[in-house]
Amino acid sequence: MPDGELASEGGGGELIGDLDGPLAVVDRSGAVAPVGVGWRVVWAVGAGDRWHVAAEEAAVRSGLIDDMPATATLMRVPGGDVILRVAAGRAGPARAAVLEFVNDSPVAVNLAVGVAGSIRLAAVRGSRLLADDRAVVELGRTPGGTAAVDDGDVWRAVRAEPSAGNCEARSREGRAAAAAVIPLAPRVPLRVTAAGVESRSLGSPGGVGSPEEIAAGWRAVVERAAVVDLPDEAAARAWRRGIAASILAAGRTESSAAAVVHDRVGLAYGCTSLDWGCAARAAVVLDRVGLPDEADRARGALVAAAERSLLPPLVAAAALRALASRRLRTGRVSGLAEWAGPLAEAAGDHLNPLTLEQVAAVLETEAPAAARDARRLLAEASPISVSRSVAGDELAGTARRSVAFGGDGLDGVEALLHCLAAEAEDHLVIAPTLPAEWTGAPVDTSGLLTRHGALSFSVRWHATRPALLWDLTPADRSATAGPGDEVALRCGLDPSWTTSEPAGEVLLS
């Protein structure tokens, strides 16, 4: 398996999805619960010794594939592992979760794939598993054994070596479950598909890309972002993971907004206030890493929610910053001329000075009369400092947690961005809080978008003294500066240093 595919620690479930947004949550056992439904796909393996039920086994490890929204779960069986990889793809015209099982042991095993959860009618018909009379899993082949129960304990029936053929079970209490048994030869992948909440049909898994191929597609998108070369592997992984997580959060469109599902560990997914908050955070991250088109998808979801007055105060304030970021960092019309008033009213007491300053800076270009109101409120507020930053000694833990299974990917990339560059209205701080353990190691960044232009810089060391090479493009995209305006540059590695030169190199103290 690729280096870094598995995390050694983590929390609950992991979201998978595509540019249209999250599709399902995968828990630590590899169970797949599509967003907005009451059922989940579960699995077990019949080896030479016994049946191994993934949800009950201690020897199960889960992680991300290359830090992308694709998961890998390994379950130990005699002689090796059975591996389940999951990602979101397309099965015909429909979005679907792609589950690929690989027997990495030397002998054949039996694989049982089931549907369980809140189901009144569970069935196996041909190559498909059904939940409440809807085809939800396509196996791509006829199973050698099938089972359906009305009490939720489908594994008891599977252990009894059921015969082949269609079967079904009904439960008024919603405890119906069904499973299909398929032989799994060594190192011959078996791919199945599971329907999303909006899927009306489910195509054959034969033409669907593998989860590893889907992860490679995600990597290609992530690689369009700003480039960083960091001395810490966890930080480098957190950068990749965070950008992918931001793109996924940006896709939480109206089609998924109505759906909320609670996974097995009690986490809520769908477009709740938490999700809109993630979309607002993602928009700013994506602007800063140079992916404004992806950020616009998040802003579109926020505006759609604002039109329906769905944003709670904290998220309304975050939405103001997300819209302001469009003008401040990319030079595009922000939409604040229309939305500053309604969002400010919704934000209420959560209009902090940082938000007010950014909104005022944008409105001075797009709606000068409204800018005066924002400046008045800002004058009445407490003084602000440069954007909040994560202390360097906190970065390692934040990065490690963000790349763990079930971790918050946005946390890691936000922490890194705050350590690499901090913005204010009239100045920019390069490397404000690099971790102490990076002392003596090279750091390179290219293409970070700030409100004063695109920033690239490198840090090298001469004994104990840092050398800084920087380049800041003219701020002709900025709402607060013109091409001829000077921006004060500072550096966290030497608080006494400042310059207005847009490019250069210096040996710091």
Our measurement of the distance from residue 431's CA atom to the centroid of its chain's CA atoms, rounded to an integer in Å, reads 25
Q: Taking the CB of residue 49, how many other CB atoms lie within 10 A of it?
A: 8
The reported pLDDT for the residue numbered 126 is: 98
CA distance 391 to 348: 29
- Helix 233-250 × helix 273-288 angle, to 10°: 120
The reported pLDDT for the residue numbered 202 is: 78
Three-state secondary structure call for residue 436 = helix
Tokens at 293, concatenated: 């088109």
What share of residues in the chain are helix, strand, coil (percent, to 5)? Answer: 30, 30, 35
Q: Taking the CB of residue 81, how many other CB atoms lie within 10 A of it?
A: 19
Residue labelled with tokens 């006494």: 496
Provide CB contacts within 8 A for 307, sequence distance 6+.
none
Tokens at 236, concatenated: 């480098």
* Residue of 30, 114, 15 whose CA lies nearest to 72: 30
Provide CB contacts within 8 A for 112, sequence distance 6+.
43, 44, 45, 46, 51, 155, 158, 179, 180, 181, 182
Per-residue pLDDT of the chain (509 residues; tens, 9 = 90+): 333 333 333 447 999 999 989 999 999 999 999 999 999 999 999 999 999 999 999 999 999 999 999 999 999 999 999 999 999 998 777 899 999 999 999 999 999 999 999 999 999 999 999 999 999 999 999 999 999 999 999 999 999 999 999 999 999 999 999 999 999 999 999 999 999 887 666 777 877 899 999 999 999 999 999 999 999 999 999 999 999 999 999 986 544 433 333 333 333 333 455 688 999 999 999 999 999 999 999 999 999 999 999 999 999 999 999 999 999 999 999 999 999 999 999 999 999 999 999 999 999 999 998 888 888 877 877 665 444 445 666 899 999 999 999 999 999 999 999 999 999 999 999 999 999 999 999 999 999 999 999 999 999 999 999 999 999 997 554 444 444 468 999 999 999 999 999 999 999 99
Q: Taking the CB of residue 135, how many other CB atoms lie within 10 A of it?
A: 18
* Identity at 181, one-letter amino acid code: V
CA distance 306 to 308: 5
* Residue of 17, 6, 100, 20 whose CA lies nearest to 300: 20
| Contact (Cβ atoms closer than 8 angstroms) between residue 64 and residue 404 | no
Our measurement of the distance from residue 472's CA atom to the centroid of its chain's CA atoms, rounded to an integer in Å, reads 29
Domain-wise residue ranges, the chain: 14-217, 227-380, 405-507
| Contact (Cβ atoms closer than 8 angstroms) between residue 436 and residue 272 | no
CA distance 139 to 125: 11
The reported pLDDT for the residue numbered 483 is: 45
Provide CB contacts within 8 A for 313, sequence distance 6+.
346, 347, 348, 349, 350
DSSP-H helix ranges across 202-352: 211-222, 233-250, 254-257, 273-288, 292-307, 313-330, 336-347
The reported pLDDT for the residue numbered 373 is: 83
pTM for the model stands at 0.90
CA distance 448 to 446: 6
| Contact (Cβ atoms closer than 8 angstroms) between residue 202 and residue 96 | yes
53-77 burial: b if 16+ Cβ within 10 Å, else e: bbbeeeebbbbbbbbbbbbbbbbbb
